[in-house]
């Protein structure tokens, strides 16, 4: 039972890192991005390839994963900065589809639909993180670092400009701010954090394949921060815990075996709809899309 709760906490931690990173882009900068799971996948495959092909240390691989995700976000950001609103969302969604196709078809690097197995677990100066509790500690440490960095950003003058862009980009441009620069920087920082989450995900499961990074996963991350509350970093963590734990609770709800899966999905969807009706700003949100 203890192993189950440790596993659950680890999964929540990975999704919380992703959610906090997306919060910077959507909640604070107001950019409706659906590309977060693509950056997560880039990070995961970078760690997987460096680990299995090059035998690289996990911590070197995770830095490379963050760099790879950051470079990808810089390139796609050049295109996305030309769009606003729904067009920005569609453009980021298209990027997600492209990256998924690359994972699925670039057999020489990603091993296609078969995925990559045998990914190394972290090891640092003889200290390994193979056990459940030790990996959970590593996840919480990374989450803490991501949270502190994000908190520093949103409380800084840079963060105040991001909030101004979210409220009215044309007004802040009239004051002489280069909004494209601010949007690009936060997009790159967010993507690098997502790349780190992907590297941790790959190392924890020691196996990845393209199905882990489908479009619906990006929608799930967006649902986390909307439910937890936009423009609130604690909301991103709360939303992660809520959306990961709720299905687990419903598994023990006592529904008849032949209809259990359908009933769980029905109750799950109903709870989410009711929450959005009565708490449209999310659990602890400060901003509504």
Average pLDDT taken over every residue of the chain: 89
Residue ranges of domains in the chain: 2-215
pLDDT at 72 over 80: yes
pLDDT at position 223 is 86
Q: Residue 254: pLDDT above 70?
A: no
pLDDT band at residue 198 using 50, 70 and 90 as cut-offs: very high
Total residue length of the chain: 289
> Residue 289 has what pLDDT?
58
- Is the CB of residue 203 less than 8 Å from the CB of residue 58? yes
State the SS3 of 130-183: CCHHHHHHHHHHHHHHHHHHHHHHHHCHHHHHHHHHHHCHHHHHHCCCCHHHHH
Rg (CA), the chain: 19
Segment 74-106, tens digit of pLDDT: 999 999 999 988 899 999 999 999 999 999 999
The Cα-based distances of 166 to 151, 237, 243, 255, 286 in angstroms read: 17, 22, 26, 44, 13
Quickly state the pLDDT bin for 30 (edges 50, 70, 90): very high
What's the pLDDT score for residue 78? 95
Q: What is the reported pLDDT for 283? A: 78
Report pLDDT for 43. 97
pLDDT tens digits, residue range 105-155?
A: 999 999 999 999 999 888 776 667 776 788 999 999 999 999 999 999 999
Two structure tokens written together for 240:
């992660």
Which tokens belong to 219? 């929608």
Whether the predicted pLDDT of 3 surpasses 90: no
| Higher per-residue confidence, 133 vs 268 | 133
Q: What is the mean pLDDT of residues 153-166?
A: 95
Give the model confidence (pLDDT) of 5-16 as tens digits: 999 999 999 999
């Amino acid at each position: 039972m203890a192993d189950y709760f440790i596993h659950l906490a680890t999964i929540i931690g990975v999704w919380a890192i992703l959610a906090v990173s997306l919060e910077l882009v959507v909640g604070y900068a107001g950019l409706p991005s659906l590309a977060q799971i693509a950056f997560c996948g880039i990070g995961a495959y970078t760690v997987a390839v460096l680990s299995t092909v090059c035998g690289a240390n996990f911590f070197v691989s995770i830095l490379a994963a963050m760099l790879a995700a950051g470079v990808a976000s810089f390139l796609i950001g050049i295109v996305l900065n030309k769009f606003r609103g729904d067009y920005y969302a569609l453009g980021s969604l298209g990027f997600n589809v492209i990256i998924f196709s690359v994972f699925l078809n670039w057999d020489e690097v990603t091993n296609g639909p078969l995925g990559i197995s045998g990914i190394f677990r972290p090891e640092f100066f003889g200290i390994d993180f193979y056990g459940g509790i030790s990996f959970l500690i590593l996840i919480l440490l990374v989450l803490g670092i991501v949270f502190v960095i994000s908190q520093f950003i949103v409380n800084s003058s840079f963060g105040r400009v991001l909030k101004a862009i979210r409220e009215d980009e044309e007004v802040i441009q009239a004051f002489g701010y280069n909004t494209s620069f601010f949007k690009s920087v936060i997009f790159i920082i967010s993507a690098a954090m997502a790349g780190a989450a992907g590297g941790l995900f790959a190392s924890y499961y020691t196996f990845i394949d393209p199905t882990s990074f489908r479009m619906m996963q990006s929608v799930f991350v967006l649902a986390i921060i909307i439910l937890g509350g936009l423009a609130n970093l604690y909301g991103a963590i709360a939303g992660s815990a809520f959306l990961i734990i709720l299905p687990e609770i419903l598994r023990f709800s006592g529904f008849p075996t032949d209809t259990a899966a359908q009933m769980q999905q029905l109750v799950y969807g109903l709870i989410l709809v009711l929450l959005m009706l009565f708490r449209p700003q999310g659990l602890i949100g400060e901003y509504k899309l």
